[in-house]
Amino acid sequence: MQEKSNSLEAQIKQCEEFANLKNFEIVEILTDVESGTKDDRSGYLRLKELIKNKEFDTLIVYETSRISRKLIELLLFIELLQTNEIDFISATETGYDTTTPEGKFAMSIRLSMIQFERDNIAKRVTERLYFKASKGQWLNGKPPRGYILQDKKLIIDEPEAEIIRDVFKRFLDGESMYRICELHDLKWGSKQVKRILTNPTYTGHIRYGNRKHTGNEKKDILVKGLHKPIISEEDFNQTRELLKQIKRTPSKSNRYLLNGLLKCKNCGNSVLGLSGKQYEKYPHYGCILKRLKFSDKLTYRDQDCGTANIRSDILEKAIIDELKNIVKRLEGLEEIEYNNEYIDLSKIRKNVSKLKSKRERILDAYIDGNLNKEVYSKRIKILEEEIAIMERKLLNRPKQIDFQSNKEKIIKYFNSIDLDNIEKSNYILKLIIDKIVVFREKKTAKDEFEVEIYLNIL
C-alpha cells in the first residue's frame, strides 16, 4: 500500500537492475511486508538460513532499514554476513559496501542513524498516545467485556454489561471469585473475575500507561473517558476496599520442606506439596500439570505428565542425605583446579591490543599506497577474525570462582538447617540449591525415583 514509486515491486526491480549492472547472477529474491522492527519475519528468517548455508556470495538490499530498524539486530546481522564471508551492498545508499574500510565506516554511521530515527518515532508515538488518553479516548485495543468499539468509541453492550453488573453485585454480596467464575463460565478463572473487579474502565474512566516498560519515565494516567459507565464509582470503591481485606487462608503446604525447589523432569513444570484429606497422613509432592484449572488446562490440554506423586518424607530424606554427602566431600577438599582461561584474561587483552595496533599499521600502509587493495583486504580480514575470536573469549569468560568462600558458605548454611522449623529450613535450602529435578514412574515402589540436584553456588 506504499506509493507507486516505493512499492515492493519497484524495490525489487531496482535491486534486480543493480545486480544486472554488476553482472551478478540472482540466486533468490526475498521479500517481507512486515515492519523492519520485527525480527521473526518469514523472509528475514529464510535469508538467515541461506547465509548460514553459504548459498550466495553477495547480499543486495533496497536499503539497510529493510533488514532491521534495531541497531543491535543490524550489528549481529552484519557479523553473521562477515562470519560466512558474504558481501553486503545497498542498492540505494552510496558507499555501503562492507568489503572496503570506507563502506564499513559508512555502514556504522547509517546503523546509528537508523536507531536514532526509530527512537524518535517511538517517542513521538508515545507522546501522541498519552495526549489522546488524556482527552478520554480509548487506546487499549480490544475493549473490555461489556463494551463494543464503534468509530473508536466505547459503546455499552447491554447483554454483556448485565454480566459485569452481576459480577460486582455478587462479589459485594459475599460470593467468592471462584463461585462467580463458575456461574458465568468465565474461561480464565478467578483471575478474570479480579481483572473485571479492578478495571476502572467500568466507572467511565480511561487508564493508560499502567503497565511497566523499561525506560518509560511517564506515569500512569487515569482520566474521565468519553464513554458511559457500567458500574458506579461507589460500588467500584467498595469492591476495591473489600479486595484489600481478603486474606488467603494459610496453606498446609508450609509443612513441605522442598516447596519452590522441585521441577518435573518429564514436563518441566513445578512439583509442589499436595493438600487435601488424602495427603494428611502421608504428605506427597506432585507435578502441578495434573492439577491445573481453567486457562492453564486450555494451554496444556494435549499434554499428559507421566510423573507419579512422591512421598514427601522419603524424598526429603533423600535430598538431606545427598546434601550431607556433598558437605562431607567438600570438607575433605582443599581446592579445585579450574581451567586456565580464568587466569589468562590479561594475556588475551594484551594480544587484542597488539592485533589492533597491527591493524592500524596495515591501514596506514594502505592509505599511503604501500599496499594494494587485495593484499590489504586479506591481511585485514585475518586480523579482524583473530580480534573477534579473542574479544568473544573476553565477553563470554566464566566468573572467577572463590572455591574456599563458597565451600564455607555451603557448610555453614547446611549446618544451620533445623528440620523442626520447616519455613526457615526451606529458606536456607533455597540459598544452597538452585533447583531439584525429580521423576518417579507410575506403578513403581514408593522409594524408586530419580533426583538431580543443581547447586546455587560452586
Q: Say how many residues make up the chain.
A: 458
Answer for the pair 87, 116: CB distance below 8 angstroms, yes or no.
Answer: no
**pLDDT by residue (tens digit) across 313-332?**
999 999 999 888 888 877 76
Give the three cell numbers for residue 405: 568462600
Write out the H or E segment, with its range, that includes residue 273: strand 271-273
Please count the other Cβ atoms lying within 10 Å of the Cβ belonging to residue 83: 12
pLDDT (0 to 100) of residue 60: 92
pLDDT (0 to 100) of residue 250: 46
Q: Measured between alpha carbons, how far is 219 from 337 in angstroms, rounded to an integer?
A: 52
- Residue 87 to residues 61, 111, 326, 456: CA-CA distances in angstroms? 11, 17, 54, 45
Q: Measured between alpha carbons, how far is 408 from 189 in angstroms, rounded to an integer?
A: 47
Q: Per-residue pLDDT for 311 more than 90? A: yes
- Give the residue with greater pLDDT, 30 vs 305: 30
**pLDDT by residue (tens digit) across 131-171?**
776 766 777 678 888 999 887 788 999 999 999 999 999 88
pTM value?
A: 0.36
pLDDT (0 to 100) of residue 232: 92
- Give the residue with greater pLDDT, 133 vs 453: 453
Long-range Cβ contact pairs of 53-59 (< 8 A, separation 24 or more) = 54/84, 54/85, 54/86, 55/27, 55/28, 56/27, 56/28, 56/86, 57/86, 57/87, 58/24, 58/86, 58/87, 58/88, 58/89, 59/86, 59/87, 59/88, 59/89
| Residues 6 or more apart whose Cβ sits within 8 Å of residue 1 | none
Show the CA angle centred on residue 96, arms to residues 95 and 100, nearest 5°: 80
Q: Is 95 helix (H, G, I), strand (E, B) or coil?
A: coil
Q: Measured between alpha carbons, how far is 288 from 62 in angstroms, rounded to an integer?
A: 51
- Give the residue with greater pLDDT, 454 vs 292: 454
In the chain, pLDDT over 70 holds for what percent of residues? 71
Q: Measured between alpha carbons, how far is 171 from 181 in angstroms, rounded to an integer?
A: 11
In the chain, pLDDT over 90 holds for what percent of residues? 14
pLDDT (0 to 100) of residue 302: 46
Q: Confidence class of residue 396 from pLDDT cuts 50, 70 and 90?
A: low
- Residue 208 to residues 78, 137, 280, 417: CA-CA distances in angstroms? 38, 10, 47, 48
pLDDT (0 to 100) of residue 300: 45
- Give the residue with greater pLDDT, 427 vs 439: 439
Least trusted range by pLDDT, from 1-5, 39-43, 279-283, 386-390: 1-5
Give 450's strand partners.
Answer: 439
Q: Per-residue pLDDT for 16 more than 80? A: yes
**pLDDT by residue (tens digit) across 87-101?**
888 888 766 676 667
Mean per-residue pLDDT over the chain, rounded: 77
